[in-house]
Structure 1
Amino acid sequence: MSAKVSRRELLEKAVKENEEKRALEEQKKENKRNKVYTSATFQEKNYFHLETNAFRVFRLLGAPIRARQENWDAKLIRFSQILDDKGSKRNFVWPDKQEFYEQTGKQFILDKVYNKVLAYDWDDVNRVRCYKHSKTHPVLFNRVMSNNQPENAFASGWKPSKIVVANVIDRQDMDWHKTHKKTKLISSKLSLYKKPKDGKTISFYKEGIPYSLYETIEKKVSVFGPAELYDLVVKKINGAPYYEVYSASETQYFKNSDILPLINPQEEIPEELSWEKYDLDTMFKVSSYSKILFSLGEFILAVDDTFKTNFHTELVDLVEKEREGKQSTDSNSEEVSGEEVKDMRHEPVIARKKINFDRDLGIEDFNPDSLDSTKYKGILKLTEKEKSYIIGVDEKGFLKYRETDDEGNPVVLASGFEDDELSPIFFQHCPYSGVKLVD
């Protein structure tokens, strides 16, 4: 016969359960706010970051960058954050200069704009660059040189940095790895920002590690063997050479550190290799021409007007080829957080050459309610008037729209959550993703 449970005990148990569930709900909300996605995969990113004056121990997974075999092997990219036409910073991945030229016989469009605005003469006496347009066209110059931060000597502007992105095992957070069965992405820096309105702290991770640090790791690898077969210890320091790199077996350099018990001396660890890894080829693809046009189109038009160049028309041509599937060297890899999703809808750029969105007429009696709501998640959120502008679906699954409104005015299309997810600019929700859109 079971013992009788008092009312107090029942209530205390209920209160405890309630608190646990509330804490779980709050954690889910916080995770949702802080998640970072790629528009191509919506994959959440989790980072292992280096810290100044602290030993950090990790296992670098995959083959070296010059002998990549899998999409999760460490990858060298050119990466920059650029201020777009709306005043927000966007991540851009640039192709390797030499490889791009060998494939196309041309320069990448961003390289062309960058070189034009930052054209310079070399001063042999003082051994410095003398920029031609810094004083004659300061608005354009400062935008490219420093993302409109001319007073900041450390602002990198458009200049792409050579960084290496990689999957790693964080020895100082093994409980997380064993729970989630996933790897982490390596980051050279964590910055914390406190929101003034609610005091919430947001984490910003710098993508990848400098190529110079990876080169130092490779030199260490050449002495001790493949990096994947042993743990590494890295300490970030103030001043050159900026990083100290050790094999985990070089314990004399950190024998008094608390990381010693965390080091795993085992060479091959099948369990860790079986964990889910980030597809770096998908996550860090070269930024699409569509993204460049919608993010920087207005600025590129201003460059053309000033220097009598033709970059915008060239870019529009590239977008057309890209949309037709003829340009295979480029794809969108923009990273957006939950807060940024609301800002993904851009005002259309007034192009010198109209982009053909293949808006041919569809079936006259097409019923948008017949669309699969699991594929077109925003259909149920559209008003009846908005639905009336959808006239069909093309062979690739993209929606077709009326060319004119009820008054005979042209229907202007704008991007949604992804560049290909076009819809009339007055739509309040993206018919593909269901995301709330703002003009």
Structure 2
Amino acid sequence: MRSAGRRLRRRGQQPAALARLRGVDPKTTRRVLDAAGARQLPEQLDVLPDPPAEQQPEPDHPEITLDLPGLLADHWQASVRLQTAHASLQYASVRARQTSADADTALAAFPQALPLTPVPALPGDPLAQAAGRIRDDCEQLSRVAYETFHGRSAQPLSGSDLQLIICWRSLGTMLTGRLLLQAATEAPTEAGTLLRSCADRLRSAARVWRDVQERWDRVVDVDDPRIRPRLPRPSYDMVRRGQVSRMPQATGLHPAVEIARASVLRAGRLLFGGDWDPDSGGGPPRTRPAADILADSGGVAELAQTVYSLTVVDWRIAVSAPRAVTAIEHRLLTDVPEHCPAGHPYRFYPLHDHQLERLRTSFQQVCAAQQAVAQMLLVTAPAIGMDTSRAVLDAAAHRHITAQTWASVPAPSPAVRGPVVSPSATLGRGARV
């Protein structure tokens, strides 16, 4: 090919003529001539070119340039990138194993945190899905409690949000106790007795929620005054003088309020039927047969597991609520006349320190009551076949949420059954789950 190129150069012919002579594509001919260096030959072939001024040593690893077509070059680059990603993933896995060597292995079984997107409870929803959706609501509320406790909420809870959540959880705790009472009628004698004990503790927990709700009576959040005492209408003279201003309007309900309401609606419709609504008037609703409730909830064990999830999320809400109160204490007002400062010209005044402390400490009673319910459910678990593996995960979560050391929760033995001592009202003591 080099000699042919020289002959063509002497004759003044172009590579296209060589292509026609050989019967190949002209581009292929030019590529071969360029690779052989035949097109860069001097005009006089019998005269050697001048040597370069300085000879450059050849590198040990010369660069290799591949002349690849477009599609093949793209595949080559993709292969290189995949190999780089593979090496990076291997390095990341080694680093992750080294970093998480001392981590709690029980946390690996936790489900992913659900997004805070409320799933409304519609009257036409199948009752067979109510128990599963209640557990999903508990996962979402647990995320709200965790973000509130650590100050990571994109939308912090307001005073009105807290009052609404307390109201819904008070009603929800009472409804779950009624569900266990209905389930006790279909359970064996021993299991039925234990379920009734759980229902009694749930009734006590509902009363504690109601006490917390009463302590929030006549407390107003000035940034979100949706829940406030009834105010008199301003007089004509006040309006004429411009002494009346409109109430601040909140941006909207916190997702936790809608989730708490949806969980209560699902529990109530599981107990009373698909058309139950707490806001509707009329007489007391009629309870569904126990067999239908257990059929829709998946049995006694699944129903107890759902009640346990509600108990755990109530404990987490009660643990994180004091942090929420501390974050908004500067904008809480009240009009209780007993504690109004002397000479205060207005009806509402900021809460005193002892009033704020009462709001915070009221949630400790909720923690103690919910721990007592959870402990009783764990005692009942062997008699009804309830799976307690989630209790181990919740104990690990409690350690990480509260930075406290919690005892592990093994499956209780039937020989240990008996009366359970109620935990004290101090946070972090008593029955630990």
Q: Does the alignment reach a TM-score above 0.5?
A: no
Higher helix share: 2
Q: TM-score, normalising length from structure 1?
A: 0.28
Higher strand share: 1
Larger Rg belongs to: 2
